[in-house]
């Protein structure tokens, strides 16, 4: 066996060993995580905490935003809920005004129109400074939440040690394309393997933006650090959900996951937008991994294994692929050990996911492996080499209604999610009178 073949076998064997240790430990911890019953954490005797729901939006499709707000308006929570919708200088603002008109008579809703685009983080902070609820729920404008999400997240927050909690994410447009189907399965795995295992130790490393609740008193402790995050001398304009979660852990709070609090979000239906999203997320992960390292000594050892697995496995896989391709190019020999090990590891993971989810569709997640190997790995390498780039790479142009949809107002429609987190959505919105007011970045 020549040196190239030996290197290939060593690399893929190391990948297989670490993957087996990491994935098996992850699955065991996920299975051992205690899922609270509907009566758990429900022993409070005082009034229910008030909840402020913050919905930042930029160039959002008015139908999508309308569906988002309708799902919030339909919550079954018995406590006080206030909603702050922050338009971050959208170019399609006149198409969004009718969405506000639909909630004119609903005192729970407050609309803020920022004078210019300042980014999602500052839009959130503008709403935070105008609100005063005990708990804060961040909801992305392209997401809808099940009617019981606020109730279930608040129940978990009854533990004063919990600073942040997230719900389970699904793809609202799962049936759209082959890619959206794969992403929906990817979300299930991320939530019910990675987050569920981390939740056993109260250390979820990223409470995702589409549906994440925070304790106001905890936010007050980290808000300045959150607002003034810099990387290489430049303000950090993305990765706010992961960064805020790490800040919560650094402040000594637990971060949790509630798998039956379902939120559905629109996912990319084409490869190029998907890869742009993954590039932005990869940069955020690399940036905040360094911030999480000092926390590891006081967290369970599994969290260290989790971070090592997430960062080292792609590296070992990349080396395995490069040596395999080099072996093919130089010797015209197919590297069977590499092919068989990667294929077997993939099928074992997909089969286990199909068993746990009781859905055979997860066997098809094996189709995601070529995307991961030949597209996502180069994206992660590029992300590591361009960490200083803060371009969002998404939604640079406004979403406008189709021809004729902006001419007639339509009644509000229900955006209730079914048991799988999917919904039928959304009303067309009509023309309205011009708005003359706008808020500064500080919300004034």
Residue 196 counted as domain residue: yes
Please state the φ and ψ torsions of residue 82, each to the nearest 5 degrees: -125, 145
pLDDT at 97: 94
Does residue 435 belong to any structural domain of this protein? no
418 lies in some domain: no
CATH number, residue 106: 3.90.550.10
The parent domain of residue 58 ranges over 50-272
The answer to whether the CB of 429 falls within 8 A of the CB of 62 is: yes
In a domain, residue 155? The reply is: yes
pLDDT tens per residue, range 82-135: 999 999 999 999 999 999 999 999 999 999 999 999 999 999 999 999 999 999
Residue 38 has what pLDDT?
55
Q: Is residue 97 part of a domain?
A: yes
How many whole angstroms separate alpha carbon 313 and alpha carbon 377? 11
Tokens of 347: 């099928």
Q: Is residue 187 part of a domain?
A: yes
Q: How many domains does the chain have?
A: 1
Query: What's the pLDDT score for residue 232?
Result: 72
Report the half-sphere exposure of 425 (CA within 13 A, side-chain side).
Answer: 27
User: Which pTM does this prediction carry?
Assistant: 0.89
Which residues of the chain register pLDDT less than 70? 1, 36-45, 390-444
Q: Is residue 419 part of a domain?
A: no
Using CA atoms, how far apart are residues 63 and 440, in angstroms rounded to an integer? 26
Instruction: For residue 43, count other CB atoms closer than 10 A to its CB.
Output: 7
The residues, ordered by sequence, that sit 6+ positions from 426 with a Cβ below 8 Å of its Cβ are 61, 63, 64, 66, 67, 413, 415
Is residue 222 domain-resident? yes
Q: 356, 170 in Cβ contact below 8 A?
A: no
- Asked whether 35 and 259 are in contact (CB, 8 A), the reply is yes
């Amino acid at each position: 066996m020549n040196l190239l073949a030996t290197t290939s076998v060593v690399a893929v064997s190391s990948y297989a060993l670490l993957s087996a240790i990491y994935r098996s430990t992850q699955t065991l911890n996920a299975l051992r995580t205690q899922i609270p019953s509907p009566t758990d954490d429900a022993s409070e005797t005082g009034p229910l905490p008030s909840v402020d729901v913050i919905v930042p939006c930029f160039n959002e499709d008015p139908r999508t935003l309308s569906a988002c707000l309708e799902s919030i308006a339909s919550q079954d929570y018995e406590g006080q809920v206030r909603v702050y919708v922050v338009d971050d200088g959208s170019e399609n603002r006149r198409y969004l005004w009718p969405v506000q008109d639909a909630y004119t008579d609903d005192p729970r809703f407050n609309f803020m129109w920022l004078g210019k685009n300042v980014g999602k983080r500052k839009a959130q902070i503008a709403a935070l400074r105008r609100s005063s609820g005990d708990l804060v729920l961040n909801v992305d404008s392209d997401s809808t939440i099940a009617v019981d999400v606020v109730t279930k997240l608040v129940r978990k927050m009854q533990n004063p040690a919990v600073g942040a909690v997230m719900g389970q994410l699904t793809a609202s447009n799962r049936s759209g394309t082959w890619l959206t189907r794969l992403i929906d399965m990817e979300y299930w795995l991320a939530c019910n393997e990675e987050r569920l295992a981390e939740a056993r130790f109260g250390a979820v490393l990223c409470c995702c933006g589409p549906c994440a609740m925070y304790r106001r008193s905890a936010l007050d402790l980290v808000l300045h650090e959150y607002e003034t995050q810099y990387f290489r001398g430049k303000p950090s304009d993305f990765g706010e959900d992961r960064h805020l979660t790490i800040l919560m852990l650094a402040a000594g709070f637990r971060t949790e996951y509630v798998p039956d609090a379902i939120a559905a979000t629109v996912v990319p239906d084409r490869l190029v937008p998907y890869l742009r999203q993954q590039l932005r997320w990869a940069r955020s992960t690399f940036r905040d991994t360094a911030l999480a390292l000092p926390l590891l000594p006081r967290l369970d050892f599994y969290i260290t294994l989790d971070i090592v697995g997430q960062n080292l496995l792609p590296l070992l896989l990349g080396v395995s692929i490069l040596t395999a391709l080099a072996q093919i190019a130089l010797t015209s020999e197919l590297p069977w050990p590499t092919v068989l090990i990667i294929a077997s590891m993939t099928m074992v993971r997909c089969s286990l996911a199909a068993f746990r989810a009781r859905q055979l569709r997860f066997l098809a997640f094996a189709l995601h492996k070529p995307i991961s190997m030949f597209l996502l790995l180069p994206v992660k390498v590029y992300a590591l080499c361009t960490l200083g780039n803060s371009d969002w790479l998404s939604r640079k142009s406004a979403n406008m209604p189709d021809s004729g949809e902006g001419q007639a107002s339509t009644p509000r429609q229900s955006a209730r999610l079914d048991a799988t987190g999917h919904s039928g959505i959304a009303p067309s919105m009509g023309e309205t009178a011009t708005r003359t007011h706008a808020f500064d970045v500080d919300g004034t």
